[in-house]
Amino acid sequence: MRRLLFAAAVALTALGLGQSARAETRTPQSFRFQSLFGTYNKASLQVGFAVYQADCASCHGLSLVHYRDLAHLGLSPQDIAAIVSHIKVQKGVDPAGKPVLAPAMARDAFKSPFPDEAAAEKKFHGAIPPDLSLIERGHRDGADFVFSLLMGYRAAPPNVTMPPHHFYNIAYPGGLIAMAPPLKPGSVTLADGKKPDVQAMAHDVAEFLAWTADPTLDQRKAVGLRIIIFLLILGALGGFAIRAGRRT
Amino acid sequence: MDKSESEAAPGWLETRLPLCAVWRTQWRDHLVPANLTLVWSFGVLVAVALGVLTLSGIWLGFAYVPTTQGAALSIERYTRAVNFGWLIRDLHRDGATMLFGVVFIELFRGIYYGSYRNRRELAWIIEVVRFFAFLAVGFFGFAMTGGAVADAAVTIMAAHIAAIPLFGSALAHWFLGGFMVGSATAPRLAMAHETIGFLVLLIALLGFMASRAAPPANPDGIAVPDPRDMVPQSAYAGKLFTAFMIFALIFAVIVAFAPGLGQPAGMSLTSPMAMPVQPVPPWYLLGFHGLARAGQSAGGGTLLTVAALVLLGALPWLDQGIVASGRYRPLYAGFVIVLAIDWVVLSVAAAQPATGIWPAVIDIATIYVFVHFIVITPLVTMLERAHPVPARIARRTA
Amino acid sequence: MAENGATSGAHEGEERRDFLKILFGATAAVGAGAIVWSFGAALEPGEAARDQSVFDVDLAPIEPNSGISLRWRGKPVFIRHLTAEQVSAVEATPMKDLLDPVPVKQRVRPGHHQYAVVIGICPHRGCIPVGNKASDPRGPYDGWLCPCHGAAFDAVGRVRRGPARQNLAIPPYRFVSDTLIRLG
């Protein structure tokens, strides 16, 4: 039986290694949260949010995120109140049936950039910009993918004919993407007055989108570590108790 | 000392509902062979996993919205906006991984040690039925999470069903509640998941009874152990505790650092672009996904899957040798190890796109599964020269 | 085992065993408690529900002698902007005429007597009184009128005519600024 379990484990490991050895076309970036005990970098998340607001929010929604969730990035209630006061969302209709615009509230979900998919299709020549809430979900390298995509714009090689409204991107499957290079240098200003370059912006917005896809990562690792330590103590105590019981 | 305490004059409740007596006779003092190993604790681990899954499942049921749009959204919101919602979702999702990990090892334990022999046929068949029910619950649980990948999986399952001759397409409509995945589908997937989920508890109880009624299985495959080689089950408390702690630690590590291990990314809401994903089921269904994919080209995916389970249940009749345990059957043990490796290869190949060598790997691995049961098992039984089985239990582990 | 002169040693061993058993049992109980607690905490209202519990309402758009209805924690809340005459009318009502006698100052916030904030559920059988819309009848006491059994309330929600016996309830709220209240 021991041999059987061992053989199955070896087979699984070998095949797993073979899998991961496949050619990787993406640029690996170091994200602290991707390491075993790593957590999100709050400063990075805040810049990432600013980048999203400046360069992404006009086309991509974040339907699963609420403004109050920004507290997880280390923003105070006053900061959040200041942010939402500039965002006008529809709050019901007036007696004449016209939509009423009012400042968003902390409890509102992120504002959708367009009323429905049909409107988006019309505005963006048939390509609907996806909601970004879960764009990095399920890929261990999801943040790397977004970073590579943002940094992957190149001039199209001569043998590729570009369809209208498309751009050449080496990180995108097939190479042809309908999204124009979104990050504009200088669209974000940090607290110290500096303007991050495009690579720094891509890094931080990739981390921010990792957070939107998996906001409980920090809590999960902290609680999980406590559970594991508890189990180790419980196991040791139980082992001692059983051994002492045997001796008497 | 403990004995005299607990067997003192029974109290008011005990004379009317003898719970302590049941605990004593059916558990603590129940006699079991003295040579059981750590893997024999896995029956208890199945019970632990089922407990976790039932509890977390009820809690997820508070939040789950069985509609096409609501399925994925409701659980996604639950993990984000409810206290410990992420923990309860992962106890359920990764609890399934723990259950199937235990169940697969338990099944291979049965095959390896010939636990289906010696008047244990019915106990074995019930274990196979229970396994089938687990697979069904696992599939429906995966399917009911909605999102692009799960919906694709349901569509593929419907196509498998539709491929059944004669009444296949009618059955597929019945399964989906329409021509395609629609508003009728999510509620019935959820109900199937929950109903079969509770039915499993009953099947497990029947299996426990059948297993208790037959002579005890043991790693030496000794049909009826000498009474002097039997020990009360309480002698295994340390082993049971060790097994439980290992189980709990692996579970905690997965929940904390690898949630959703071996399960498709799209088991929750997927955005339309996402990255091009291939509908791959959770790891525990992959082997059967492979059988179905191999059968697809021959026009009988569903039939192959069912046939494999029927053959597993038929092991007591396919393997008619005198010696039961793989410990004394080197040739048979070798083939069981090959079968285990073959299943891993089949599972991994089933997760790959249908290009390159993978379809061929799936076909070969599938053929081997059937060759093992139909050809190798009976043939080895006839040809191999087994080592002599000791009359008494030599290696006492308790 | 307790023989061969090691009685005290064996006794110590037993004590040690019992101590370890209790320690283990207590630790396991802590773990079980943590599980029960987290599952219990998961049944508390989530953030989405908590969002509804505190609510800011801007009173500036409410014209004098008109009111608005809104939902707060699933209940209808009426806010009425009273005119100076209406305020003095309710303040002039003698206590003996009231079914549930409460002075006006307990029905409104100090310094903001012109705003009446009440929960719009009739204490009699739970119907929702009318009187907020311009087209609604306000009943004989210029407040609200219950359409089910005809209970009538004055402009600060005090019951003036049965079958109701109690005034309209007042939700917890405070003035954040002169024209902004925080419900909850």
Predicted confidence (pLDDT) per residue in B275-324, tens digit: 445 678 899 999 999 998 887 766 677 788 889 999 999 999 998 888 88
C9-68 pLDDT, tens per residue? 667 777 888 888 899 999 999 999 999 999 999 988 777 666 667 777 777 777 788 788
A198-224 pLDDT, tens per residue? 888 999 999 999 999 989 999 999 999
CA distance A113 to A119: 10
- As a whole number, mean pLDDT of residues B253-273 equals 73
Do C27 and A240 count as a contact with CB atoms less than 8 A apart?
A: no
Residue identified by tokens 């399925």 is B71
Do B85 and C46 count as a contact with CB atoms less than 8 A apart?
A: yes
Q: Does B54 touch chain C (CB under 8 A)?
A: no
CA distance B72 to B65: 8
CA distance B30 to B23: 9
- The torsion region of residue C78 among left (phi > 0), alpha (psi -120 to 50) and beta comes to beta
- As a whole number, mean pLDDT of residues C80-104 equals 79
Chains that touch A (3 or more CB pairs under 8 A): B, C
pLDDT of residue B298: 65
Residue B150, amino acid: A
- As a whole number, mean pLDDT of residues A84-104 equals 78
The fourth-level CATH superfamily of domain B34-261 is Cytochrome Bc1 Complex; Chain C (1.20.810.10)
C176 vs B375 pLDDT, higher one: B375
- As a whole number, mean pLDDT of residues A172-180 equals 85
pLDDT exceeds cutoff 60 at B194? yes
Summary mean pLDDT of chain B:
87
ipTM (interface predicted TM): 0.87
The runs of H, that is alpha helices, within chain C are 7-41, 47-51, 84-92
Sheet holding C180-183, edge to edge: C55-58, C180-183, C173-177
Q: What confidence category does residue A26 fall into, taking pLDDT thresholds of 50, 70 and 90?
A: very low
Question: What sign does the CA torsion over B324, B328, B332, B335 have?
Answer: positive
Do A247 and C31 count as a contact with CB atoms less than 8 A apart?
A: no
Smallest CA-to-CA distance from A59 within A218, A219, A181, A167 is with: A181
Per DSSP, the residues of A210-225 read HHHH-TTHHHHHHHHH
DSSP, res C95:
G
Question: Which of A21-35, B138-152, C44-58 is predicted most confidently?
Answer: B138-152
CB B185 within 8 A of CB B69: no
Residue identified by tokens 């597929």 is B172
pLDDT of residue B8: 66
pLDDT of residue C115: 85
CB B221 within 8 A of CB B328: yes
Residue % of chain B over a pLDDT of 90? 52
Helices H, strands E: what count in chain A? 7, 4
Chains that touch C (3 or more CB pairs under 8 A): A, B
A36-76 pLDDT, tens per residue? 888 999 999 999 999 999 999 888 889 899 998 999 999 98
Question: Which of B125-139, B158-172, C38-52 is predicted most confidently?
Answer: B125-139
The runs of H, that is alpha helices, within chain B are 2-6, 12-16, 19-23, 42-63, 70-81, 85-113, 121-143, 147-162, 168-176, 185-213, 237-257, 283-298, 301-313, 315-318, 330-350, 358-371, 377-383
Cis peptide before C163 (omega within 30 of 0): yes
Residue A136, amino acid: E
Do B271 and A131 count as a contact with CB atoms less than 8 A apart?
A: yes
> Smallest CA–CA separation between A90 and chain B, in Å?
22
DSSP, res B178:
S
What is the widest separation between alpha-carbon atoms in chain B? 73
- As a whole number, mean pLDDT of residues B319-348 equals 91
C122 alpha carbon, distance to own chain's centre: 15
Test the A interface: residue of C27, C37, C38 with most A CBs within 10 Å = C27
Test the B interface: residue of C47, C50, C51, C52 with most B CBs within 10 Å = C47
- As a whole number, mean pLDDT of residues A127-155 equals 82
pLDDT of residue A116: 76
Do A231 and B245 count as a contact with CB atoms less than 8 A apart?
A: yes
Report domain extents, chain B: 34-261, 280-390
Q: Does A11 touch chain C (CB under 8 A)?
A: no
Least confident range of A96-100, A229-233, B166-170: A96-100
Q: Give the Cα-Cα-Cα angle C26, C28, C33 (nearest 5 degrees).
A: 90
pLDDT of residue A248: 65
Collapsed DSSP state (helix, strand, coil) of residue C68? strand
Cα atoms in the Cβ-side hemisphere of radius 13 Å centred on B383 = 9
